Chain A
Amino acid sequence: MELLSKIATNDGHGENSSYFDGWKAYDSDPFHPTKNIHGVIQMGLAENQLCFDLIQEWVENNPKASICTPQGSNDFKDISNYQDYHGLPEFRNSVARFMEKVRGNKVKFNPDRIVMSGGATGAHETLAFCLADPGEAFLVPTPYYPGYDRDLRWRTSIQLLPVVCESSNEFKLTREALEDAYEKAQEANIKVKGLILNNPSNPLGTVLDRDTLRDAMSFISEKDIHLICDEIYSATVFNEPDFISIAEIAEEGAVCKNRDLIHIVYSLSKDLGFPGFRVGIIYSYNDAVVNCARKMSSFGLVSTQTQHLIASMLSDDTFVEKFLDESAKRLAERQGLFSRGLAKVGIESLKGNAGLFCWMDLRRLLKEPTFEAEMELWHLIISEVKLNISPGASFHCLEPGWFRVCFANMDDETLRIALKRIHKFVIQEKGLDQPTTRKQCKRSKLELSLSFRRLDEFMMTPRTLSSPHSMTSPLVRART
């Protein structure tokens, strides 16, 4: 067989992580309320399925939005022919307005700064191509979305360096941690080109407060590096405190000295629940980046059929307001139901107010405070409790025992079944095992960095690749 490129043969695609065992288990035995009531429940997929009834209703009432209906077919020719990488003006306008609404109209977005991409996946990669050369690095607070490892590094050859956040202060991002990460990079002779923030955070389900945002802003200004703010969950905030976008801080002249360094990544996959439509957005305050990213968007434009539909939907103000309201309500209810259910058996999660998941604390259930024990617990949960949840290690969490559990990708009944299974498991575990005194982990910085490296090696244990013809390959759907 002919040689393929290094990129093709390395595992930058990220699928060799043991993280995917959960997916395999789900794919080979998926839960179904009637046909397979003992199957694995998928709680590893951050999808928002709570408001499809509202969308369905809108689509049925607006046949013109689909260019494939008799009402909309007049537009078919022009829409299907339009391949300008600027994107349909009405699409950009409606997305800008939507982003403003989500931020309570506290900021304004210029539609001419909106650039399309193949989902947020494409947006991240494009920004990495624009802002950094191979070998250079972005800082990213841990724990973070595993997809970043592939999206930002695979074809770009840039590096991701962790900014450590700890449970001792609820995983808040500190200036100290930022400086620390930067310093480590300097010592290792790695050029840092930017900082990535995910706000609201996946997997934490929390929002960044104003002080932290200002701190981050002053940090990047001082170091003259870029700030990429992934706000893909911005409309999933369902409780106080309010969401504060980096766009607000960018307008604070005292704090933000150079708007040329600020870039926002957005998408409709989480807020609206449309991951299949591949609507990714880059919003940059930097003209050169807008121009470059726009040229690169040729590699991942949004289908004009979809642009047209989205433009119609998002310019319906009445619908959008109703949707945002209702979505927040339903997410609050769902999260409340789930976290109360967990609390009943003494399981705590990080106090979250956003996102489609809970950051669950299962440290008590670990045999010992190690990642090996976390993996063991996780395998147990998959095989016996039959829940696919995501282990903290896959999010590069530096402390073992945390798990991300998604709650918005299923109906109420399935969620109740999942809770029942968790209850049963915890009660059993309590009976079987008396956890030894939890060692207080007060590690030195050096130990943390060593454990991160060990974790990396641990996570990269090769697994058998499935053949391209196998439909039960671990990556049937989104990875997270």
Chain B
Amino acid sequence: MAIEIEKPAVGLSKVAVSDTHGEYSPYFAGWKAYDENPYDELWNSSGVIQMGLAENQVSFDLLEQYLEKHSEATNWGNRTSGFRDNALFQDYHGLQSFRKAMASFMEQIRGGRAKFNPDRIVITAGATAANELLTFILADPGDALLIPTPYYPGFDRDLRWRTGVKIVPVHCDSSNNFEITPQALDAAYNEAESHNIKVKGVLITNPSNPLGATIKRSTLEEILEFVTRKNIHLVSDEIYSGSTFSGEEFVSVAEVLEARDYKESDRVHIVYSLSKDLGLPGFRVGTIYSYNDKVVTTARRMSSFTLISSQTQQLLASMLSDRTFTENYIKTNRERLKKRHQMIIDGLKNSGIECLKGNAGLFCWMNLSPLLEEPTKESELTLWKSMLHEVKLNISPGSSCHCSDPGWFRVCFANMSEQTLQVALTRIHNFMDRRKAMKSSPDFSSY
């Protein structure tokens, strides 16, 4: 897909006129099609179904129930000075009650297998800000971060745009279920070195977006060994940690560190957010958890540019310190996501479509490579356009996630009702039927 060259606007910076903001990617073009013709069960049943947005809408009722029962707790504690104190609170440490509640919530998600110190939590307005902030701290302009492919398209903007830092991909492919190997890490590192690019760290997403799978403990250990050997940083974006379908299968890097008594933990930093697990993307709740004192101090100072509204901190401090609520939420959310995941996997299977074996996240990683005319990115994009304009589903092409194997697509399933998901599955089924029919017809012309 050609990158359009913008005519430089008079008097703006290079950052402003670059297109590293990433919005020309097909990842976002699908959104446009959706915006112009959005599906609605009643009013627009032939509209585009949005399956390119990783949102969690399956557990809202639990949040609403909590709010109905606890309005005093959330309404500035009902003290006369409650509102005032909250509105004035701009300390970049963040409300202590909020940090404690977040630390506790993160521990519960990990089944108590890791401990988090509230004083190491730095608040940011979303994981978007957290990832950019860490990049500013860990790397200079021109340096690089290694990121396993396929990865979340937003990283291209979040990590590179204003920081001037590069991303060097660590290639993972379908031959081994896209697992990260030491060889791939080494290859990426050497590739960077050969271009005289200084690698400052590795960034992993665990559970992975777009794969929808957790990283094995042994892989985490290999990654830790690699970053230690190269004396670089490790950022673990664990934004989907509460969206694993079973509590036991997720291993956080925090657990691995705890098991080895925090040796070499100075180089490890965790990013978290409530946008996915709690389905609250509008509230802009992100955190950085670093085992490195200097990073915590510096990140905290930088968070001045992107603090969480104290009003929102207050609400979440109440909510997340209510153990009855959080335990029930974590458990129920997992069950519902698992059920939803099963529904889409079964539906796709019935249509003859396989997905990567997933155990987490709000999406599945669908393999449509058998449908490609040729195993190329162009073919993939052609197929994607058909899905968008004919099947009327917005799904995310693997190439927008920098996947080296063409034909894979990320399909979100948690941002809609079950009914809508059923409609989507029916459309896919019909699409596959049509293709089968065309293939067996004498004047077959491929998509």
Interface residues of A (CB under 8 A from B): 1-8, 13, 15, 47, 49, 52, 55-56, 59, 63, 66-70, 73, 76-77, 79-83, 118-119, 121-122, 125, 129-134, 136, 150-151, 154-155, 193, 224-226, 260-261, 269, 273-278, 286, 288-289, 292, 295-296, 298-306, 309, 465, 467-469, 471, 473, 475-478
CB pair A7 B136 closer than 8 Å: yes
CB pair B13 A76 closer than 8 Å: no
Q: Nearest chain A CB to B274's CB is how many angstroms away?
A: 10
A292-B16, A475-B301 known; A76-B136 Cβ under 8 A: no
Tell me which residues across on chain B come within 8 A of A3, comparing CB atoms: 200
A77-B60, A118-B125, A305-B312 known; A155-B136 Cβ under 8 A: yes
Q: Could you name 26 residue pairs across A and B whose Cβ atoms are closer than 8 Å?
A: A2-B266, A4-B138, A4-B295, A56-B80, A69-B74, A81-B55, A122-B305, A122-B306, A130-B15, A131-B11, A224-B10, A274-B88, A276-B88, A276-B90, A277-B309, A288-B12, A296-B21, A298-B126, A299-B129, A299-B305, A300-B129, A304-B283, A305-B311, A305-B315, A309-B311, A476-B91
- The CA-CA distance from A431 to B97 in the complex, in Å, is 50
- The CA-CA distance from A286 to B9 in the complex, in Å, is 10
Q: Nearest chain A CB to B85's CB is how many angstroms away?
A: 9
Question: Pick the contact of B309 from A4, A7, A47, A302 — CB < 8 Å?
Answer: A302
- Chain A residue at minimal CB-CB distance from B131: A299
- The CA-CA distance from A275 to B89 in the complex, in Å, is 7
A66-B75, A68-B71, A276-B90 known; A225-B11 Cβ under 8 A: yes
CB pair B128 A298 closer than 8 Å: yes
- Chain A residue at minimal CB-CB distance from B304: A121
- Chain A residue at minimal CB-CB distance from B80: A56
Tell me which residues across on chain B come within 8 A of A275, comparing CB atoms: 87-90
A260-B10, A278-B309, A465-B297 known; A1-B15 Cβ under 8 A: no
From B61-69, B235-243, B388-396, the one touching the partner chain is: B61-69
CB pair A300 B74 closer than 8 Å: no
Mark B100-135 against chain A: 1 for CB-CB distance below 8 A, else 0: 000000000000000000011000011011001000
Between B60, B296, B305, the greatest number of chain A beta carbons within 10 A of the residue's beta carbon is seen for: B305
- Chain B residue at minimal CB-CB distance from A269: B90
Interface residues of B (CB under 8 A from A): 9-16, 21, 23, 55, 57, 60, 63-64, 67-68, 71, 74-76, 80, 83-84, 86-93, 119-120, 125-126, 128-129, 132, 136-141, 143, 157-158, 161-162, 200, 231-233, 266-267, 275, 279-285, 292-298, 300-302, 304-312, 315
CB pair A73 B67 closer than 8 Å: yes
Tell me which residues across on chain A come within 8 A of B296, comparing CB atoms: 468
- Chain B residue at minimal CB-CB distance from A276: B310
CB pair B301 A15 closer than 8 Å: yes
- The CA-CA distance from A190 to B59 in the complex, in Å, is 55
Tell me which residues across on chain B come within 8 A of A69, comparing CB atoms: 71, 74-75
CB pair B312 A306 closer than 8 Å: yes
Tell me which residues across on chain A come within 8 A of B84, comparing CB atoms: 49, 52, 55-56
CB pair A477 B90 closer than 8 Å: yes
Question: Pick the contact of B301 from A2, A13, A63 — CB < 8 Å?
Answer: A13
- The CA-CA distance from A283 to B159 in the complex, in Å, is 26
Tell me which residues across on chain B come within 8 A of A13, comparing CB atoms: 298, 301-302
- Chain B residue at minimal CB-CB distance from A193: B11
Sample of 10 further A-B pairs with CB below 8 A, known A69-B71, A465-B297, A476-B91:
A2-B232, A13-B301, A77-B64, A119-B304, A129-B162, A130-B13, A276-B89, A289-B9, A303-B125, A477-B91
Closest 4 CB pairs of A and B: A276-B310, A304-B282, A68-B74, A303-B309
- The CA-CA distance from A309 to B84 in the complex, in Å, is 14
CB pair B86 A276 closer than 8 Å: yes
CB pair A303 B312 closer than 8 Å: yes
- The CA-CA distance from A52 to B220 in the complex, in Å, is 51
CB pair B74 A118 closer than 8 Å: no
CB pair A278 B125 closer than 8 Å: yes
CB pair B93 A476 closer than 8 Å: yes
- Chain A residue at minimal CB-CB distance from B274: A80
CB pair B87 A288 closer than 8 Å: no
Q: Nearest chain B CB to A331's CB is how many angstroms away?
A: 17
CB pair B306 A52 closer than 8 Å: no
Tell me which residues across on chain A come within 8 A of B14, comparing CB atoms: 133
CB pair B13 A133 closer than 8 Å: yes
A49-B88, A131-B12 known; A276-B57 Cβ under 8 A: no
- The CA-CA distance from A209 to B333 in the complex, in Å, is 59
CB pair A80 B311 closer than 8 Å: no
Question: Pick the contact of B293 from A68, A155, A295, A467 — CB < 8 Å?
Answer: A467
A52-B84, A302-B309 known; A68-B315 Cβ under 8 A: yes
Tell me which residues across on chain B come within 8 A of A56, comparing CB atoms: 80, 83-84
- Chain A residue at minimal CB-CB distance from B122: A468
Question: Pick the contact of B233 from A2, A55, A302, A478 — CB < 8 Å?
Answer: A2
Tell me which residues across on chain A come within 8 A of B139, comparing CB atoms: 5
A73-B67, A276-B309 known; A8-B125 Cβ under 8 A: no
- Chain A residue at minimal CB-CB distance from B117: A469
- The CA-CA distance from A261 to B12 in the complex, in Å, is 10
Tell me which residues across on chain B come within 8 A of A122, comparing CB atoms: 305-306
A73-B67, A131-B13 known; A305-B305 Cβ under 8 A: no
Tell me which residues across on chain B come within 8 A of A302, comparing CB atoms: 284, 309
Tell me which residues across on chain A come within 8 A of B119, comparing CB atoms: 468-469
Q: Nearest chain A CB to B292's CB is how many angstroms away?
A: 7
- The CA-CA distance from A457 to B293 in the complex, in Å, is 27
CB pair B64 A5 closer than 8 Å: no
CB pair B64 A73 closer than 8 Å: yes
A68-B67, A80-B283 known; A8-B83 Cβ under 8 A: no
CB pair A132 B74 closer than 8 Å: no
Q: Nearest chain B CB to A67's CB is how many angstroms away?
A: 8
- Chain B residue at minimal CB-CB distance from A294: B21
Q: Nearest chain A CB to B121's CB is how many angstroms away?
A: 10
CB pair B298 A8 closer than 8 Å: yes
CB pair A76 B64 closer than 8 Å: yes
Tell me which residues across on chain A come within 8 A of B71, comparing CB atoms: 68-70
Q: Nearest chain B CB to A443's CB is how many angstroms away?
A: 34
- Chain B residue at minimal CB-CB distance from A150: B304
- The CA-CA distance from A49 to B85 in the complex, in Å, is 10
A47-B88, A68-B67 known; A6-B140 Cβ under 8 A: yes
Q: Nearest chain A CB to B136's CB is how many angstroms away?
A: 5
- The CA-CA distance from A150 to B305 in the complex, in Å, is 10
Q: Nearest chain A CB to B170's CB is how many angstroms away?
A: 19
CB pair B283 A468 closer than 8 Å: no
Q: Nearest chain B CB to A385's CB is how many angstroms away?
A: 25
A118-B305, A278-B309, A309-B311 known; A73-B68 Cβ under 8 A: yes
Tell me which residues across on chain B come within 8 A of A286, comparing CB atoms: 9
- The CA-CA distance from A298 to B286 in the complex, in Å, is 12
Q: Nearest chain A CB to B315's CB is how many angstroms away?
A: 6
Tell me which residues across on chain A come within 8 A of B128, comparing CB atoms: 298-299
Question: Pick the contact of A76 from B67, B126, B233 — CB < 8 Å?
Answer: B67
- The CA-CA distance from A274 to B307 in the complex, in Å, is 13
CB pair A300 B306 closer than 8 Å: yes
- Chain A residue at minimal CB-CB distance from B309: A303
- The CA-CA distance from A131 to B238 in the complex, in Å, is 34
CB pair B83 A55 closer than 8 Å: yes
Tell me which residues across on chain B come within 8 A of A278, comparing CB atoms: 90, 125, 307-310
Question: Pick the contact of A8 from B13, B294, B304 — CB < 8 Å?
Answer: B294
Tell me which residues across on chain A come within 8 A of B86, comparing CB atoms: 276
A81-B279, A276-B86 known; A301-B126 Cβ under 8 A: yes
- The CA-CA distance from A131 to B12 in the complex, in Å, is 4
Between A82, A118, A467, the greatest number of chain B beta carbons within 10 A of the residue's beta carbon is seen for: A118
Tell me which residues across on chain A come within 8 A of B275, comparing CB atoms: 83
Question: Pick the contact of B15 from A4, A129, A151, A475 — CB < 8 Å?
Answer: A129
CB pair A5 B292 closer than 8 Å: no
CB pair A303 B162 closer than 8 Å: no
Tell me which residues across on chain B come within 8 A of A47, comparing CB atoms: 88
- Chain A residue at minimal CB-CB distance from B308: A303
